[in-house]
Amino acid sequence: MAPNLSPHLVIMQNAAQRAARRLLRDFNEVEQLQVSIKGPGDFVSQADLRAEQSLREDLGKARPGYAFLMEESGASGSENWTWRWVVDPLDGTSNFLHGIPHWAISIGLERRQPDGSTEPVAGVVYAPVSDEMFWAEKGSGAFVNDRRLRVSARRDMTEAMFATGIPFAASSPGTRQSFAATLALLMPRIAGVRRFGAAALDLAWVAAGRFDGFWELHLKPWDIAAGLVIVREAGGFATDPEGGDARANGDVVAANPHLHKQLCAAVREGIAL
């Protein structure tokens, strides 16, 4: 049974659920827009903005002194913040745009320590279509709805299923080359690779043991702030390829403890080639 939610988690879950209600209504209209001359792009960008505004209102009302880092509106609040919300109102926008029911709301909470360092201390990733609320707080474990999460126990790379994000048109040639090299190294050694198009959910699914690991380069802080906490509280490792803080440059490798070093090594080698 899940522990009682802390005040922070109550705020985060309530905010995510309220924003999700409007997003679900918008999502049900996307399919009709697919055949319009104008197309759904403008509509989806407005859905994203409305969700972000809803989250800002709810989180800001509950904790007026906290700073924000949000995908659409950027950083706001005091530069000397102690607590900061890191929010992606619609992770998996391309999926949403194409009527694919795999997208989520991601809310992370960071705390600044007296020495000036910061750390993610709580996270919520809510998938409205499946009504799965992934959540965790440092020291309290990770859960989906009321069920405790644990990363997978697989030790053999030949049995491992990894997730990733495939670079697209806007990605640099170097990023595309690194991805192709890493994929070429891994494919002969593992059971499979999946690309579902929502990094926050990929991390949540590592925590749930659905994936044995996940890697992607150049992610944004709001893509990973919640997922890092959820993976770690489920017993996994979530770092950059060198084993450092993935928030420093957005290069993320997350996996169970048995496979993390091997996945990091493959990603490092792919970057070096």
- Contacts of residue 208, defined as CB under 8 A and 6 or more positions apart, other chains included, come to 134, 144, 149, 234
Structure confidence at residue 97 (pLDDT): 85
Q: Which of helix, strand or coil describes residue 172?
A: coil
Q: Read off the pLDDT of residues 46-85 as tens digits, 9 standing for 90 and up.
A: 888 899 999 999 999 999 999 999 998 899 999 999 999 9
Q: Read off the pLDDT of residues 158-179 as tens digits, 9 standing for 90 and up.
A: 999 999 999 887 788 988 999 9
Distance CA 185, CA 163 (A): 15
- pTM, two decimals, is 0.93
Structure confidence at residue 35 (pLDDT): 40
Q: Read off the pLDDT of residues 64-74 as tens digits, 9 standing for 90 and up.
A: 999 999 998 89
Q: Answer for the pair 146, 140: CB distance below 8 angstroms, yes or no.
A: no
What are the helix (H) ranges across 82-218?
93-97, 173-186, 199-207
Q: What strand order describes the sheet that includes 237-239? A: 192-194, 161-164, 213-216, 252-255, 237-239
Structure confidence at residue 168 (pLDDT): 80
Under the banding of pLDDT at 50, 70 and 90, the label for residue 42 is low
Structure confidence at residue 37 (pLDDT): 41
> What mean pLDDT do residues 143-158 have?
97
Q: Is the pLDDT of residue 41 over 60?
A: no
Structure confidence at residue 169 (pLDDT): 78
Q: Is the pLDDT of residue 39 over 70?
A: no
Q: Which domains can be identified in the chain, with CATH numbers?
A: 7-148 (3.30.540.10), 157-272 (3.40.190.80)
Q: Is the pLDDT of residue 204 over 70?
A: yes
Q: Is the dihedral of CA 215, 132, 24, 50 positive or negative?
A: negative
> What mean pLDDT do residues 173-200 have?
95
Nearest to 143 by CA among 53, 258, 235, 81: 235
Distance CA 224, CA 219 (A): 7
Q: Read off the pLDDT of residues 90-137 as tens digits, 9 standing for 90 and up.
A: 999 889 888 899 999 999 999 999 999 999 999 999 999 999 999 999
Under the banding of pLDDT at 50, 70 and 90, the label for residue 29 is confident
